[in-house]
Amino acid sequence: MNQLDPKLLSRSFIKLTASFPKRLTGLYMALHTGHAPLNKHLHCLSKVENPSCPHCPGTDESVHHFLTLCPHHQRARHHMIQVLGHNATSIPFLLSNEDATLHLVRFVNTTGQMKATFGEVPLPR
């Protein structure tokens, strides 16, 4: 884990997720490690035929693509960008800053992209 992301199990990550419901912590772990239910990871597991985004042929559906680039999710991403500004395009910020959590969860829930795995992700308390 430390090779993937040295800050993953850091004190700040543990502090951030300490009060999270299990599903929300699971979502954060999946997004941090790239093991999210997106085609890039599912392709590695032989669960889908190719790693491409269903909306952007030729582009891998990765965590970065899903959270910051995919035009299909632009409408859902709009609120995050309005509130967080340019930080909404920073994966490290989205996955480590307490101020981003609520907006990230709303984005994920609005897209419905992770619903089969995580259900409706509860908002942080």
Q: In this structure, are strands 56-60 and 52-53 parallel, antiparallel, or unpaired?
A: antiparallel
Confirm if 61 and 111 have CB atoms less than 8 A apart. Answer: no
Q: How would residue 63 be classed by pLDDT, with cut points 50, 70 and 90?
A: very high
Q: Which residue has the higher pLDDT, 5 or 112?
A: 112
Residue 103 one-letter amino acid: H
34: containing domain: 20-115
Tell me how many domains the chain contains.
Answer: 1
Q: Tell whether 3 is covered by a domain.
A: no
- Is residue 93 one of the residues assigned to a domain? yes
Alpha carbon distance 95, 73 (integer Å)? 18
Q: Is residue 56 part of a domain?
A: yes
Q: Which two tokens stand for residue 88?
A: 């909404």
Lowest average pLDDT, out of 11-15, 51-55, 73-77, goes to: 11-15
